[in-house]
Structure 1
Amino acid sequence: MSQARFASCIPLPIEHKALVNVIEKARDWGLMHGVAMRDKKHFNKDVIQVAPFVLLPSPFPKTEFEKAVELQPILNELMHKVAHNDEFLEHTLQNALQVDEFTKSLYDIWVKVRNEGITQSVSLGLFRSDYLMQNTESNKIKQVEFNTVASSFGAMTSYLPTMSRYILRQLGHPDLIKNMPENKALSGLCSGITDAYDLFGVPSAVILFVVEEVSYNICDQRFHEFEIAEKRPDIMIHRKTLNEIFEETTLNDKKQLILDGRPVAVVYYRSGYEPAQYPSQREWDARLRVERSTAIKCPSIQYQLAGTKKVQQALASPGVLEKFMGSGPSTSRVRDIFTGLYSLDFDENGERAVEMGLKDAEKFVLKPQREGGGHNVYGAEVREALQRMRHSRERAAYILMERILPPLVQGYVIRPGATMPPPVVDLVSELGIFGVIIGTSEKIFHNRQVGHMLRTKLADADEGGVAAGLGALDSPYLVDM
């Protein structure tokens, strides 16, 4: 099937002089408003460069955008229930645990803490559900994945609509601004953190951000801290690596995590969701200490386990959604956003999935149990990987997912250091909807949708992570279809 096309919000190409002029203004706007990152190749703490962005907002069907927004609280609650269903997590992950050391390490901490007795029953989820448009006549959204460790770019994308409105005005199209939805992801995500802090109920407590040794995505991370400091100057925030947590924190006799003499109310992970972030046992010991404590974790370790691709695949299996949601209209709406997801376990279904992948490799994506982008396998490499793993337990660490081919749209991608002006290229966009949920296994205190992001990449690129340097920040331009 050939890919459909959406029309750009304004006719392209833009005249050369006008294009060069508006790009220069847009780059400066981005730098001056924090749409920026540190350079990985030439790292300098004192230097930032504009983050990759799409010059014009990308068209997205209004009805499908609204559907995604309406579904987010429903999906929040679904994943909350999944995370608190021990039997389901154990059954779903049992085969992956035999071959995926990282997931097994997380799982072992979860079991250990659970057996010792949960000291903090409240979990904070800052979630994001990601979608691509399915290339059909109806152009319906299909879920790419559900991220439980994923408030990345919520801050910077909150500024993208303002930036896009500025660009449209500069190009003489102020009439198009009405088609751009407001995005309050930053304030919404931060309100989730402060709501959890208030539930902890200790005025002297602090919030702890778990960060990498070197933070390239500094603007996005710091904006959360600055927003909380502005709205809640009574709250102290610390930034620590897992290694620093190991060295600088203790657990008191009340199981409070103590940092600089004060209890930690909320631990917000901006690191700790992939193997490279645990280079030694010290990091794992720090993670265990945090999970044992009374601090409210974002995500709790059961949320992180619930966000694995294996769980996503299991939820798409017949009858599984109904166990968590019943058989009402909400269940049908959620099932409608699923694409084909297949287990690669050593059973009849797994063998059938392997055969499908070998026969039509181009139609599928191989996904491991990882966050962070850059880990998936596409195209001919799917066949090579399946042939290599066919008789190995390793294959149980992956799922097979039908590949979604979204509509194309032409546009300009602006990257730091690239030749200017850029060419008109074919692009595809992925919509992410942010959600906040706070609750225990028995009660949900807060559950809401709080904003969105749009990542756009070259149509012939497989991955689209902005932090990984593969995608670009964007903003949706809502259209009636």
Structure 2
Amino acid sequence: MSSNCENECDPSHCSLIGDNCKLTYNESCVPLDIPEDILNELVDKAKDYALMHGACMRSKTAFDRDTLQFAPFFLLPSAFPKREFERVVKFQPIMNKLIHHVAQDYEFLKKCLKKTIMVDDFTSRLWKIYETVRSEGISQPVNLGLIRSDVMLTQCTAGCCELCQTPPYVTSHQVEVNTIASGFGHMGPVSGKLHRYILGELGKEELLSKLPENNALEALCDGMIEAWKIYGNPKAVVLFVIEDVTYNICDQRFHEFEIRRQNPDVHVIRRNLTEISKRGKLTDDKRLIIDDKEVAVVYFRAGYEPAQYHTDVEWDARLLIERSLALKSPTISYHLAGTKKVQQELAMPGVLERYISEEESKLLSQLFTGLYSLDLHPEGDKAVEMAIEYPEKYVLKPQREGGGNNIYGEEIRTVLKRVQHSSEREAYILMDRIRPPILSNYVVRPHEPVKLIDVVSELGIFGVIIGTKDKIMVNKNAGHMLRTKMSTVNEGGVAAGQGGLDSVYLTD
């Protein structure tokens, strides 16, 4: 599936490489020649604001449960075209509906993943749980989706796309859809609050209207509370499934605090998969009991990568949850619907129309960039050869979540040559590399001097959907988040220090 650009590029002469991608239309909201004395004072205030408002994480290098440090952040909000921001926000309820309907389609998921589960053990074990609960009969027909669709701006040098007829020639393309542990519902809004404070300190109150309101935390927590109400037991709790060690603690805890703020009757408990297996049980009528507490809603903030399943004990916990009456974000079918292979299959011609209207399909397909199957067939062979010849133009994606797993540049050539004639390649998909505009911003990291660097950004749009196979009860936007990273790095995790918290500054 290619992008919505009508004039497809020949990889041999595509100009979207390296410095050719640098656009200058997105100037900073304020001049970037801030005098050093003013800058240093501003940074000190910003650090304290971050620390005192929960824009914090635990250190991975010197972990101490009783100590927090501010998360890396950018001093100023990053420019993003208002036209594109409003477009992707508008599309999110359509994306929610698409994922919901895909998750109900067993035959489609089976077709998409039949080869992946033969070469990827993690996806295979998820699929076995899905098959087990499906054969036993789904206990809870109501699904809770807390979804985040991640997009990046893309430059079109020719101005040939339907949506970018006038300069600057940019549009948004989807990076991925997250259906499990879709984090930063707190970090997104708090970044915007930080930037509102900074602009005020700079005497730029007139710019505040350019920072869109962000209700991500409230909306996501409202979705969990609505699911709790649907469950129907006012004494039941919400279970957060967490990592063995939680670094991104503020993002998780502020969800917990917001749930209690909205409804003091709702209590949250936090357990990892090992604890759930040892201390959880099902009643005869499939109610999930953890430490003598009945669970109404399960919110996964872990369970999305193999390292979080140490032994069969953790897999037993996942199956226990799936068998239960609790509403889950996500169900196992939602988890599978968010896999890379399903994303690639949804970009094939005619597939979207199976789940959403023709008009909605046309709108949503505008977000797709080139996605290619690497299955063992002639089209897959062609994609492999294309990526080996021009690796800098693509991203090789294994079926993994959580960041840091994608493959870029020369490593693509190395990996594909190794698996070129093996079914192992079917565990990957190939995607056109998105080349976003490069901006400049001040990065603020713990224990380091502030630096002005070139950066690129990734926008995440949240959505909430609740429904059964036949009826959607809730479907809405749920705010946004912006992560920004150095333009010279491939992966830009905030906790790893290569990326940082950011917020949107809307430009005309």
TM-score, normalization by structure 2? 0.93
CA contact (8 A) 1:344 1:353 kept: yes
Matched, 1:400 2:420: no
Match of 2:362 in 1: 332
In the alignment, structure 1 residue 429 sits paired with structure 2 residue 457: yes
Instruction: State the alpha-carbon separation in 2 of the partners of residues 187 and 467 from structure 1.
Output: 24
Corresponding residue number in structure 1 for 2:501: 473
Per-residue deviation, residues 169-196 of structure 1 (Å, max 9, x unmatched): 2122221111000111000000010000
CA distance in 2, matches of 1:182, 1:394: 45
1:364-421 per-residue CA deviation (whole Å, 9 max, x = no partner) reads 0000111100000001111111111101211101000000100111111111111x2x
How far is the alpha carbon of 1:470 from its aligned partner?
2.9
TM superposition shift of 1:431 = 0.5
Give the secondary structure class of the aligned counterpart of 1:159.
Answer: helix
Question: How much has 1:469 moved relative to structure 2?
Answer: 3.4
Q: 2:308 aligns with which of 277, 286, 291?
A: 277
Look up the match of 2:138. 118
Q: What whole-Å deviation, never above 9, does each CA across 1:24-58 have from its counterpart, x for those lacking one?
A: 00000000000000001111111000001010000
d(CA) in 2 for partners of 1:461, 1:186: 29
The aligned amino acid for 1:24 is D
Separation of aligned partners in 1, 2:479 and 2:216 = 4
Structure 1 partner of 2:161: none
Q: 1:203 deviation in Å?
A: 1.4
| Secondary structure at 2:42 match in 1 | helix
**Equivalent pairs, count:** 477
Q: Secondary structure at the match of 2:506?
A: strand
Deviation per CA, 1:69-112: give whole Å up to 9, x if none.
10000000001001110000000001111110000000000000
Q: Which of 45, 50, 72 is the aligned partner of 2:70?
A: 50
Contact map agreement 1:18 1:171 (CA 8 A) in 2:
no
- The residue that corresponds to 1:443 in the other structure is 471
Matched, 1:409 2:436: no
Alignment check: 8 A CA contact 1:153 1:220 kept:
yes
Q: Secondary structure at the match of 2:173?
A: strand
Instruction: Work out the CA distance in 2 between the residues paired with 1:326 and 1:9.
Output: 39
Match of 2:278 in 1: 247
Are the counterparts in 2 of residues 313 and 399 from structure 1 also a CA contact under 8 Å? yes
SS in 2 for 1:172: coil
State the SS of the aligned residue for 2:259: helix
| Separation (CA, whole Å) in 2 of partners of 1:204 and 1:227 | 18
Name the CA distance, whole Å, in 2 between partners of 1:260 and 1:204: 14
User: SS of the residue aligned with 1:250?
Assistant: strand
Structure 1 match to 2:371: 341
Give the CA deviation at 1:23: 0.4
CA–CA distance in 1 between the matches of 2:220 and 2:498?
A: 25
Equivalent residue, structure 2, for 1:456: 484
Give the share of equivalent positions with the same residue, in percent. Answer: 53
Q: Report the Cα offset of residue 238 of structure 1.
A: 0.7
Are positions 1:7 and 2:27 aligned together?
A: yes
1:261 deviates by 2.5
Deviation at 1:114, TM superposition (A): 0.3
1:194 corresponds to 2:225? yes
Q: Are 1:19 and 2:39 counterparts?
A: yes
Runs (4+) of structure 1 exceeding 4 A deviation are none
Determine if contact 1:364/1:402 at 8 Å carries over to the other structure: yes
Q: Distance in 1 between matches of 2:283 and 2:498?
A: 44
The answer as to whether partners of 2:58 and 2:67 remain within 8 angstroms in 1 is yes
| Match of residue 377, structure 1, among 401, 407, 415 | 407
Contact 1:374/1:468, CA 8 A, preserved across alignment: no
- SS of 1:427's partner is strand
Question: Out of 373, 380, 400, which is 1:350 matched to?
Answer: 380
Q: Verify: 1:101 aligned to 2:131, yes or no.
A: no
Choose the corresponding residue for 2:261, options 230, 244, 257.
230
Deviation at 1:423, TM superposition (A): 2.7
Mapped to 2, the partners of 1:217 and 1:262 lie a distance apart of: 26
Query: What SS does the corresponding residue of 2:458 show, helix, strand or coil?
Result: strand
Residue 495 of structure 2 aligns to which amino acid in structure 1? A
Answering whether residue 351 of structure 2 is matched by residue 323 of structure 1, we say no
Contact in 2 for aligned 1:68/1:433 (Cα 8 Å): yes
Q: What residue in structure 2 maps to residue 141 of structure 1?
A: 172
Counterpart amino acid of 1:435? Answer: G
Please state if 1:221 is matched with 2:252: yes
| Alpha-carbon separation, structure 1, partners of 2:276 and 2:29 | 48
Partner of 1:155: 186
Distance in 1 (CA, whole Å) between partners of 2:258 and 2:317 is 27
User: Residue in 1 aligned with 2:109?
Assistant: 89
Q: Tell me the SS of whatever aligns to 1:463.
A: coil
- CA displacement, residues 262-317 of structure 1 (integer Å, 9 cap, x when unaligned): 32100111111100000011000111111011111110000000000000000011
The separation in 2 between residues aligned to 1:187 and 1:63, in whole angstroms, is 25
Counterpart residue type for residue 62 of structure 1: K
Which 10-residue stretch deviates more, 438-447 or 146-155? Answer: 146-155
Whether the 8 Å contact between 1:73 and 1:448 is mirrored in structure 2 is: yes
* SS class of match (1:350): helix
1:162 to partner: Cα distance: 1.5
Corresponding residue number in structure 1 for 2:331: 300
Unaligned regions of 5+ residues in structure 2, if any? 1-14, 157-167
Indicate if the aligned counterparts of 1:113 and 1:291 stay in contact, CA closer than 8 A. Answer: yes
1:206 aligns with: 237
Equivalent residue for 2:206?
175
Q: TM-score, normalised by structure 1?
A: 0.98
Partner of 1:364: 394
Q: Distance in 2 between matches of 1:347 and 1:423?
A: 49
1:202 is displaced (CA, Å) by 1.1
Cα contact 2:445–2:497 (8 A) shared by 1: no
Distance in 2 of aligned mates of 1:94 and 1:476:
40
2:26 aligned with 1:28: no
**Which residue of the other structure, out of 287, 292, 298, is the alignment partner of 1:261?**
292
Counterpart AA for 1:74 = I
